[in-house]
Structure 1
Amino acid sequence: MPTEILMPALSPTMEEGTLAKWLVKEGDTVNSGDILAEIETDKATMEFEAVDEGTIGKILIEEGSEGVKVNTPIAVLLEEGESADDIETSSAPAPAEEKPAPAPAADEKPEPGPQQAAAAATPATPAPAAPEAADGSRIFATPLARRIAADKGLDLTQIKGSGPHGRIVKADVEGAKAAPAEKAAPAAAEAPAAKADAVAMPASPGAEQVKKMYEGRDYEEVKLDGMRKTVASRLTEAKQTIPHFYLRRDIKLDALLKFRSQLNKQLEGRGVKLSVNDFIIKACALALQSVPDANAVWAGDRILKLTPSDVAVAVAIEGGLFTPVLKDAEMKSLSALSAEMKDLAGRARNKKLAPHEYVGGSFAISNLGMYGIDNFDAVINPPHGAILAVGAGVKKPVVGADGELTVATVMSVTLSVDHRVIDGALGAELLQAIVENLENPMVMLA
């Protein structure tokens, strides 16, 4: 029977997206892995691949449609031998311009709308609803895989998907055998108790309340795009839930600047030009190896200690920011880190990063020194354990080792730390390791 193609979750934070462009049309034959559409997520424009073979029987969502919720049917795929006549009218979504009717009161029965009446007149056998894991997270599976799993009595939470981003596809369930679900009921029973224990956070004033404060004043309303909504949500979460504390140090950069100048002269023939930020990335990566207990993230009810140094670097783009992750940064040369960072930053500004390139990491760097900022406090990007805020290097009078007053190039840094993951002394040890690497740059090449 016809299979619904659903709006995919192409990033961990995606709840809705824009169907930017269809790359297929009705009647086209597609195979698994073929590109169906371009979808704008909260972070990037990404290609959406087919996970099953068949023919595009009907396109349900027009290209350019914004705010399409994850798991909304966007097209119908026909199997061999099926035709457009087999498509059930109940699979078609409501027109984009219609707004959902308000929910009925508890003692009222909703009046059936045109589509509900059509569905009642024509019995439908839709795919079972997308299942959830014990922790409430969604299990992503194709409609055909869900139907097969329901027929065979399979528990999709026990099946590992082989499709894009771990999605469960037809091949995953065809050879699987039914097994009893493990402890789903106790987990479900604990959820209400956990919610009851949560303390309600005070709500911010709504748009209408704020607009009333500025009646009679000229202003422009700026619509929030997906990225801005995500930035607002995650930073609010970070400041409300992460117990930040801050450690500050001044770093003398003269030895690093001299060493960088020498290296850049030697690398000129290869077209390589190292930045101070490249040295900072390397210094942080090596420091996380020197202080492995600080190379950690918060995971709800436990701490995950990472073995590699996966360092995220904040990149400002129009309307928001990305934090691409340089994985295994401790293993890479300065020139390799420089080239990778330039590539990631360039694609970040064009919103062409894939989720695996900006998800993860245990530590982040935010450098506003290039904008002339002397020092600032950065907000931790969950689930990271810390973030280093980097200010500008400026000439300052300092007291030398011999007690003489001299002038040095000094850079102020602030380490924002999640106290649930890293205690004060451990954070100080990590920052000390970063300072030593930057003040003695040749050590980083040993």
Structure 2
Amino acid sequence: MAKIAEMTQLSPTMAEGKIVRWIKQKGDPVSPGEIIAEVETDKAVMEMEAFETGTLLEILAPEGTLIPVGAPVAIIGKQGEDISTLVETAKKSIPTKKENTIQTTSQSSTTSQNDTTQPSSSSSKFTTEEQNKIYQSPTFSEEQTTSYKHGSQTTQTGRSGPISPLAKKLALQKGVDIGEVTGSGPGGRIIKRDILSYQESGGGKKGSFVKRHDRRLELTGMRKTIASRLSHSTSTIPHFYLTLELDANSLDSLRNSYNQDLKLEGPLKISLNDLIIKACSLSLKDVPEVNSSWREDHILEHGRIDIGVAVSIEGGLITPYIRNTDQKSVSEISLEIKELASRARERKLKPGEYTDGTFTVSNLGMFGISSFTAVINEPEAAILAVGALVKKPVLKEGNIVAGKTLSVTLSCDHRVVDGATGARFLSSFREYTERPLRLLTG
């Protein structure tokens, strides 16, 4: 008897999934545990398995559709089995929506309220030529324009007086504000030579603008999850922030000498961020109160130290975790971060690799950001925001010398971490980063 295959919950936070690709096609044999489709969840692209033996008789959800967890996606049964009734029943229970991008035209303040532009039904995208087209914006309105007949020629009036049709057309093409032009024709009428003279004297182009188009972007599962989780975090967690500027000379020197002395190249080279993550893990051992979570009726102080690294990927952000970070060397941390980040960008992380951490580091230093504050990643109690390495004069032993500084900001959940506790964590972090040799032995 044919059975319906449903959208499987592939991650703890998954509420719906988008069918990226059907690996099995209609008519293909399937068996339990065999991969039948690739599904984009809120965090990654994952493989969906079959739970029945038989033939894939019908695909109910085409590629590119969003399907809620538990909704029908396919029918599996015996070859030649009549499934017409089952197909109709299943299709009625699928609330799908196609992922797409629609472009609309915004109304500028110079456009009439009744003048709207609808996207073409044959295409949801405007051509590059249309997007780059220059439109001329006259500075007089229709209400200020009148017409009259003079022989076979129609003359209209602008702000400064009458204007010939040819002059008006030329003004629109050249972007000339007619209100700035003095007419030399009969009765002060603006004619072609007035427009040309005005342009030659340096006028024109004041009313030209590039018409831009809005885009409607459908929310992906990842973007919905980011919006939901961060909105909940900022509205329920009492954040406070502690900022510290570090002397990063020794830390940067250690990184350079480590890579040079060991002749490390490519993925084997360690980064400042690798050293910072190691320093965080040791500071969490020193101040375990920060390595905790709020549990409504108690605070859970974690025995393990699992540090997440925020990774920017197409369409959003994901945080893979380095398990037992404090027990790993800087080189091990470095290689693991690179491997996790690579699979994150390919959307191939497993749920266990981006959930259930104890602390997070977010680094925007590579973008030149000197300092920033980050939103706590629930249910963690803190997150460290790391800025760029900045070269600047610093005061050392009474002398002004060339120095390198690094700004870090600790965001804390005040239900779990008090100001003094956060300060102790940053003090420990300073010790490890300004005297960094212990990072290689700890």
Which residue in the other structure is 1:376 paired with?
Answer: 372
Query: How far is the alpha carbon of 1:212 from its aligned partner?
Result: 9.4
CA deviation vs aligned residue, 1:22-44 (integer Å, no higher than 9, x gap): 22234444333211111111221
From 81, 94, 97, give the equivalent of 1:84. 81
**Quick one: distance in 2 between partners of 1:392 and 1:347?**
25
Which residue in the other structure is 2:207 paired with?
Answer: none
Q: Note if 1:24 corresponds to 2:24.
A: yes
Which residue in the other structure is 2:69 paired with?
Answer: 70
Distance 1:63 1:252, change over 3 A: same
**Quick one: distance in 1 between partners of 2:75 and 2:220?**
28
The residue type paired with residue 239 of structure 2 is H
SS state of the match for residue 422, structure 2? helix
Query: How far is the alpha carbon of 1:57 from its aligned partner?
Result: 5.0
The residue type paired with residue 12 of structure 1 is P
What root-mean-square deviation, in Å, do the aligned CA atoms of Structure 1 and Structure 2 show? 2.6
Distance 1:82 1:332, change over 3 A: same
Query: How far is the alpha carbon of 1:437 from its aligned partner?
Result: 1.0
Which residue in the other structure is 2:383 paired with?
Answer: 387
Which one is further off, 410-419 or 217-226?
A: 217-226
Which residue in the other structure is 1:93 paired with?
Answer: 91
SS state of the match for residue 359, structure 1? coil
Which residue in the other structure is 1:339 paired with?
Answer: 335
**Quick one: distance in 2 between partners of 1:350 and 1:6?**
25
Query: How far is the alpha carbon of 1:330 from its aligned partner?
Result: 0.8
Distance 1:300 1:19, change over 3 A: farther
**Quick one: distance in 2 between partners of 1:369 and 1:406?**
23
The residue type paired with residue 341 of structure 2 is A
Query: How far is the alpha carbon of 1:375 from its aligned partner?
Result: 0.7
Structure 1 unmatched runs, 5+: 100-210
CA deviation vs aligned residue, 1:305-346 (integer Å, no higher than 9, x gap): 221211111111222111111111111111111111111111
**Quick one: distance in 2 between partners of 1:28 and 1:302?**
53
Matches within 5 A, 1:51-70: 52-70=51-69
Which one is further off, 261-270 or 11-20?
A: 261-270
SS state of the match for residue 262, structure 2? helix
Answer yes or no: is the 8 Å Cα contact 2:67–2:96 preserved in 1: no
Query: How far is the alpha carbon of 1:278 from its aligned partner?
Result: 0.5
Query: How far is the alpha carbon of 1:62 from its aligned partner?
Result: 3.3
The residue type paired with residue 303 of structure 1 is I
SS state of the match for residue 409, structure 1? strand
**Quick one: distance in 1 between partners of 2:324 and 2:95?**
47
Which residue in the other structure is 1:360 paired with?
Answer: 356
**Quick one: distance in 2 between partners of 1:330 and 1:305?**
16
Query: How far is the alpha carbon of 1:395 from its aligned partner?
Result: 2.0
Which residue in the other structure is 1:319 paired with?
Answer: 315
SS state of the match for residue 229, structure 2? helix
Query: How far is the alpha carbon of 1:18 from its aligned partner?
Result: 0.9
SS state of the match for residue 18, structure 2? strand
**Quick one: distance in 2 between partners of 1:212 and 1:302?**
54
Distance 1:98 1:385, change over 3 A: closer
Which residue in the other structure is 2:302 paired with?
Answer: 306
**Quick one: distance in 2 between partners of 1:424 and 1:247?**
8
The residue type paired with residue 437 of structure 1 is Y
Which residue in the other structure is 1:219 paired with?
Answer: 214
**Quick one: distance in 2 between partners of 1:346 and 1:33?**
26
Answer yes or no: is the 8 Å Cα contact 1:2–1:87 preserved in 2: no
From 433, 442, 445, give the equivalent of 2:428. 433
TM-score by length of 2: 0.69
The residue type paired with residue 11 of structure 1 is S
**Quick one: distance in 2 between partners of 1:372 and 1:270?**
24
CA deviation vs aligned residue, 1:358-384 (integer Å, no higher than 9, x gap): 112111111111111111111111111
Which residue in the other structure is 1:11 paired with?
Answer: 11
Query: How far is the alpha carbon of 1:391 from its aligned partner?
Result: 0.8
The residue type paired with residue 43 of structure 1 is K
Answer yes or no: is the 8 Å Cα contact 1:375–1:413 preserved in 2: yes
**Quick one: distance in 1 between partners of 2:2 and 2:216?**
43
**Quick one: distance in 2 between partners of 1:269 and 1:320?**
32
Query: How far is the alpha carbon of 1:53 from its aligned partner?
Result: 4.0
The residue type paired with residue 56 of structure 1 is T
The residue type paired with residue 6 of structure 2 is L
Q: Note if 1:293 corresponds to 2:258.
A: no
Distance 1:430 1:97, change over 3 A: closer
Structure 2 unmatched runs, 5+: 98-105, 117-211
Q: Note if 1:348 corresponds to 2:344.
A: yes
TM-score by length of 1: 0.68
**Quick one: distance in 1 between partners of 2:433 and 2:96?**
58
Answer yes or no: is the 8 Å Cα contact 1:76–1:87 preserved in 2: no
Matches within 5 A, 1:98-177: none
Answer yes or no: is the 8 Å Cα contact 2:61–2:74 preserved in 1: no
Distance 1:425 1:344, change over 3 A: same
The residue type paired with residue 440 of structure 2 is L
**Quick one: distance in 2 between partners of 1:6 and 1:92?**
10
Answer yes or no: is the 8 Å Cα contact 1:57–1:84 preserved in 2: no
Distance 1:302 1:213, change over 3 A: farther
**Quick one: distance in 1 between partners of 2:354 and 2:364?**
20
Which residue in the other structure is 1:404 paired with?
Answer: 399
SS state of the match for residue 24, structure 2? coil
**Quick one: distance in 2 between partners of 1:98 and 1:427?**
47
**Quick one: distance in 2 between partners of 1:430 and 1:98?**
48
The residue type paired with residue 6 of structure 1 is E
Aligned positions, number: 331
SS state of the match for residue 264, structure 1? helix
Which residue in the other structure is 1:260 paired with?
Answer: 255
Which residue in the other structure is 2:120 paired with?
Answer: none
SS state of the match for residue 439, structure 2? helix
Answer yes or no: is the 8 Å Cα contact 2:4–2:74 preserved in 1: yes
CA deviation vs aligned residue, 1:38-93 (integer Å, no higher than 9, x gap): 1111221111123x341135334233142211100212334xx8972378526522
